[in-house]
Amino acid sequence: MADITKTALITGGTKGIGYGIAEVLINEGIKVAITSRSSVAAELAANQLNEIKAGYALGIGADVRDLASQQRVVDTILSQWGRLDYVIANAGVGHFASIQEMTPEQWHETIDINLTGVFYTAKATLALLKESEGYFITIASLAGTNFFEKGSAYNASKFGLVGFTQAIMLDLRSEGIKVTTIMPGSVATHFNNHEPNEQDAWKIQPEDIGQMVADLIRMNPRTLPSKIEVRPTRPGGR
């Protein structure tokens, strides 16, 4: 009998939210391919995830800023597992500086990874998601609704990502593909060189976002929560 185990692609899956999502999905019985610009980091993280369920994680070096790189990821998943059911576009970067201090290089990296990278991920995966009647989920941010000082590049990328995701949701639901954007507030991750510690206990944890993804996947096909804002229960940040 053919293996009909569902599979997922998570960009930026070696740590933080991406890794937390991968852990939850593997525990749900879903095979997960995680990507990182570092092949070494991707393989190390996949090895750790395979300790949960052997053979359920695949680490791939890839750059979301390169469409050909994303297509190679899809080809690798097909050669290994023969299908793709879920895509979580999670890869992201943040540069925070006033407009006077923001460099063109920082601007382009933020927009290219956080926004154009999601477009490339979508272009590379949508044919397979149409076959599986799958799910495309983007990890945006409350920064896609709430602007803040020194956030010009990050705000622009996340405002754009929210708009992009909502627009393709309308494009793709008639094709049998569900699309949702998740907009977290403060999450305890390594984002922007932060080292999570006990003082982050009030924040959303990466596995909480993973549980949200699992809940979306399990939801009745007739129902589509297209945009989800999520905040810590207790105040302490956004």
Residues with catalytic function: 154
Angle at 183 between CA 173 and CA 202, to 5 degrees: 145
Greatest pairwise CA separation for the chain in angstroms: 61
List, in sequence order, every beta strand (DSSP E) within the chain. 7-11, 31-36, 57-61, 86-89, 135-139, 178-184, 227-230
Residues 6+ apart with CB under 8 A from 7: 30, 31, 32, 33, 77, 81, 83, 84, 85, 86
The Cα 93–Cα 113 span in angstroms is 7
Q: State both tokens at 130.
A: 């149409």
Q: How distant is the alpha carbon of residue 2 from its chain centre?
A: 28
- What count of other Cβ atoms lies within 10 Å of the Cβ of residue 31? 21
* End-to-end Cα, the chain, rounded Å: 49
CB burial of residue 144 (10 Å; 0-12, 13-18, 19+): buried
